Amino acid sequence: MLTPHVPFDLSESVMGFAARLGDFHTGGRTGPFLRDIGVNVVDLARGQKGAIEKLSSCVGVSPKAMLFNAPRGIDRRHFEIRGETVSAEFLSSPHTVFCPACLLENDQASGGRTGVRCHRWIWQLNVVRTCPDHGLPLLRRKADFSGDRFHELAIMVPETGPELSKLVASLDARAVSPLQAYALDRLEGKAGPAWLDSQDVDQAVRASEMLGALVMFGPKPNLDQFSACDWDRAGAAGYAITSRGEEGIRGALSDIQAAAERKGGKPGPQAIFGRLYQWLSRSRAQKDPGDLKRILRDQIVETMEIPGGTSILGEILPERRLHSCATLASEMRLDPRTLRNVLVAKGLIPADAKPGANNVFDAARGREIAQLVRRLVAIAGLPKRLGCTRPRAEDLVNERILAPIAENASDAPGRQKKAVDEKDVENLLARLEAAADPVEVLPADMVDLATGAMKSRVPVYEIVHLILAGKLCKVVRLAGEHGFAAIHIDPAETKAVAAEVMVGLSPTAAFAEVRLPVASGWELIRRGYISAVEVRCGDGDHVIHRIPPKALEAFLAEYTTEVIIAAALEMGVRDLKGEMKKAGAKTHLRKNDLGMRIFRRSELPERFRV
C-alpha cells in the first residue's frame, strides 16, 4: 500500500483522484503511475470495478465512494452511473470541463501545486455547465493527445495565478440551470417531477434540451454550432415545460404549432417541429429517446391532417384520422367553398375560420358531411320533390318538419339555410305514405291537403304535423300517385283534432307576430328565451312545438328588437340604429350569435323601452 495516505475527496472523479495520486507519489503523469501499480489505464478510465478496486487496495481508500462517482462503461456507447444508464453523449468526455474559480482556490490552498487540483465528478456530465459554488460558466477543453481522458488539470489548464484570475474575470455570473439541478439531484437519489422521473435521466435531459432548443431558437437552428451557453439556455427553457409533464409538453407543442400555422400555408410536422422531429425520427432502438417520441407522435396524429399510410416517427398511420376542408374536398371531389359552408353549419370548423386556414376535424365525421353535401336539396327544388307549392315547402322548413342544413341563426351562409338533406325529404314522403291508406277511389268526404286546409282553416304544415304524429285517423292516398298531391284527409276530422291538439301558436305564427326571423326565433327557443310546449305522439317519434301566447308576452315584456322599437317610434331601423348607438344602448344578444340583435328592456335608455 502506498504511503503516505492520500484521502479521496467525495466530490472528485476517479480519474482526477488518480491524477492527484500520480503527482503526489511520483511527481509524474497519470498513465505511467497507474501502470507502475498494476492498474489497467483503459479499464479505470471506463470505470470498471476491477480497476477501481485494484487502485483502492493500493492507496487504502474504500472503493465504494470511487465507484459511486465513476461512469462505468457497459458497452461502446453506454455507461452506468449511480444506477442510471446513460449514453456516451451524456458525458463530457473527451472534453475536460473545469471551473477556473475552483482551480484558483485549489492552487491557493496548495501553494501553487497544480498537480493536486480537484477534478469534480459532476464535471463529467454534459448537462453540468455552471459551477454550483461560484455561479460561473464551466470551460471545456479537448487535448490533441490521448491523455485527455485522464483529466489532468495541470496539463489541460496550464494557466496559473494572474492568468487563471483573468479566466475567472472573463466569465459572466449566471444561475445554475434548473435542468442541471434536477439531473444532479436525481443522481443523488432525490425525487423530481413525475414525468421526468419516469424517463431515464439521459432521456429526461435530452428531451428537455431539444424541446427547449425548439422553443428558444426555432425549428431549424444549426445545432452543431450551439455553444455550451446555448444548450444551457435551451435546457432551462425545456425544463420549464417537461417539469409539467405530458400536459405541459402538449401545451408547448400546440403553441408552437399554432404560431407556425399563423404564418400561413400548410406546414408539415417536420417544418413545424424541425430539429426536434428530426432527432426523434432518427433515433434508433439502441438509443431510445423516451416518451417524448410518443407524445409528439400523438400531437401530430391528433391535430394534423396526415394521409393514411404515412410514417410518423417510425410508425405507419393505418388510416387518415383528420381532414381539412381542402383535403376532404379533394378526396370527395366537391367544391371546397360549398363544403366549407356546410362544415361551418355542422360545427366542424369555426364560423370565423378564414378560407384556407388549417382547421382539421374528424375524418369519418367529415366524410359523413361530405355525403350530405352530395345530397343537398335546395328549398327551391322542394316543390317538385314533394308535389306542393313553394310556400308550402318553405312552411315545412320553417316548422322544422324538414330541418335546414344550418339549423342555427348564425351557422352558415344563406345557401345552406335554404337547403335540406335529400334523406330527410325521402323520409318525410315515406312517412306520409305509410300513414295513409292506399285507395283506388277517393271516399266522398276526403280532399287533398290544400283543399283540406281551406275547409278546416288549419294550415297545411299543421295538417302534416298531425299526420306524422298519428293524430288523424282518416288519411288516404291514391294508389299510383306520390307526394303531397296523393295525400287526402277529412276536413271535419282535421278541424276537430287540430282544435284539441294544436293549442297555442305554431312557431311560424309566433315568430311572425313578434317580427322575428324564423332562424332567430328557433335559436331563442333553443336558448330558453321563448318557452315552447312539445306535443309528442304515442311513440315520441314526431314532435310538434307550440308556443303559448303567455310565453310570447313574457318574452316581449323583458326583451325587444330594433324592428319593434322602430315601429313604435315610427322611424326607420337604419336611423334607429344610429340613435341607439349614440345613446349607448347595450346589446343583450349579438347579431353574430342570433342573426339579429336582442335587447333587454331594463338595460335600454328610457326612450327605447317602448
Q: Could you read off the pLDDT of 513-539 as tens digits, one per residue?
A: 999 999 899 999 999 999 999 988 766
Q: Could you read off the pLDDT of 543-560 as tens digits, one per residue?
A: 999 999 999 999 999 999
> Which positions ≥6 away from 243 have C-beta within 8 Å?
178, 182, 192, 193, 195, 196
Positive or negative torsion for Cα 117, 121, 126, 129: negative
CA-wise closest residue to 81 among 175, 2, 14, 167:
14
**What average pLDDT does the chain have?**
90
Q: Could you read off the pLDDT of 81-99 as tens digits, one per residue?
A: 999 999 999 999 889 999 9
**Any domain includes 144:** yes
Q: Could you read off the pLDDT of 437-447 as tens digits, one per residue?
A: 999 999 999 99
Give the pLDDT confidence score for residue 149 in this predicted structure: 67
- Average pLDDT over every residue of 8-20: 94
Tell whether 147 and 197 lie within a shared domain.
no
Tell whether 160 and 276 lie within a shared domain.
no
Number of domains the chain is built from = 5
Three cell numbers, residue 402: 324538414
CA-wise closest residue to 351 among 417, 430, 450:
417
Tell whether 490 and 443 lie within a shared domain.
yes
Task: Round to whole Å and give the CA distance between 53 and 67.
Answer: 9
Give the pLDDT confidence score for residue 407 in this predicted structure: 58
Which helix (DSSP H) or strand (DSSP E) does residue 269 occupy?
A: helix 269-282
Task: Round to whole Å and give the CA distance between 471 and 452.
Answer: 15
Cα–chain center distance at 257: 9
Domain boundary pick from 273, 300, 316 = 316
Q: Give how far Cα 13 sits from Cα of 92, 285, 565, Å.
A: 13, 31, 86
Q: Which residue has the higher pLDDT, 358 or 408?
A: 358
Q: What percent of the chain has pLDDT over 70?
A: 95
Domain boundary pick from 405, 426, 447 = 426
Give the pLDDT confidence score for residue 528 in this predicted structure: 93
Helices then strands, counting H and E runs in the chain, come out as: 31, 19
Q: Is residue 9 packed enough to be buried (19+ CB in 10 Å), middle (13-18) or exposed (0-12)?
A: middle
The 10 Å CB-count burial string (b at 16+, else e) for 96-125 is bbbbbbbbbebbeeeeeebbbbbbbbbbbb
CA-wise closest residue to 105 among 55, 168, 148, 192:
168
Three cell numbers, residue 98: 473545469
Q: Which residue has the higher pLDDT, 246 or 539?
A: 246
Confidence check: pLDDT of 413 > 60: no
Work out the widest C-alpha separation in the chain, in whole angstroms. 130
**Any domain includes 466:** yes
Confidence check: pLDDT of 354 > 80: no
CA-wise closest residue to 406 among 372, 430, 383, 382:
372
Which range of residues forms the domain containing residue 136?
14-169
> Which positions ≥6 away from 562 have C-beta within 8 Å?
573, 576, 577, 580, 596, 597, 599
Tell whether 348 and 395 lie within a shared domain.
yes
CA-wise closest residue to 196 among 72, 125, 291:
291
Confidence check: pLDDT of 608 > 50: yes
Give the pLDDT confidence score for residue 326 in this predicted structure: 86
**Any domain includes 260:** yes
Domain boundary pick from 395, 426, 457 = 426
Q: How many residues does the chain have?
A: 610
Q: What percent of the chain has pLDDT over 90?
A: 73
**Any domain includes 178:** no
Tell whether 454 and 543 lie within a shared domain.
yes
Least confident of 13-17, 117-121, 379-383: 379-383
According to DSSP, the β-strands at 360-362 and 376-378 are unpaired
Q: Could you read off the pLDDT of 115-165 as tens digits, one per residue?
A: 999 999 999 999 999 999 999 999 999 877 655 567 899 999 999 999 999
CB 24 within 8 A of CB 83: no
- Average pLDDT over every residue of 426-432: 93
Task: Round to whole Å and give the CA distance between 284 and 199.
Answer: 17
Tell whether 438 and 454 lie within a shared domain.
yes
Task: Round to whole Å and give the CA distance between 257 and 481.
Answer: 59
Tell whether 20 and 153 lie within a shared domain.
yes
Give the pLDDT confidence score for residue 412 in this predicted structure: 40
Least confident of 141-145, 252-256, 385-389: 141-145
Find the distance separating the first CA and the last CA of the chain, reported in whole Å: 108
Tell whether 538 and 568 lie within a shared domain.
no
Measured from the Cβ of residue 225, the count of other Cβ atoms closer than 10 Å reads 7
Give the pLDDT confidence score for residue 405 in this predicted structure: 79
Tell whether 563 and 544 lie within a shared domain.
no
Task: Round to whole Å and give the CA distance between 372 and 341.
Answer: 12
Task: Round to whole Å and give the CA distance between 432 and 461.
Answer: 12
Least confident of 48-52, 190-194, 371-375, 542-546: 371-375
Tell whether 20 and 127 lie within a shared domain.
yes
Least confident of 112-126, 335-349, 556-570: 335-349
Tell whether 536 and 562 lie within a shared domain.
no
Confidence check: pLDDT of 357 > 70: no
- Average pLDDT over every residue of 304-332: 89
Tell whether 121 and 157 lie within a shared domain.
yes
- Average pLDDT over every residue of 403-430: 72
Q: Which residue has the higher pLDDT, 316 or 537?
A: 316
**Any domain includes 2:** no
Q: Across 37-153, where does the E strand assignment appear?
A: 72-73, 78-81, 84-87, 96-98, 139-141
**Any domain includes 7:** no
Looking at the DSSP bridge assignments, the partners of residue 361 are 323
Task: Round to whole Å and give the CA distance between 482 and 429.
Answer: 8
The residue with cell 268526404 is 445
Give the pLDDT confidence score for residue 349 in this predicted structure: 85
**Any domain includes 186:** no
Confidence band of 331 (pLDDT split at 50, 70, 90): confident
Q: Which of 216-225, 398-407, 410-419 has the highest mean pLDDT?
A: 216-225
**Any domain includes 597:** yes
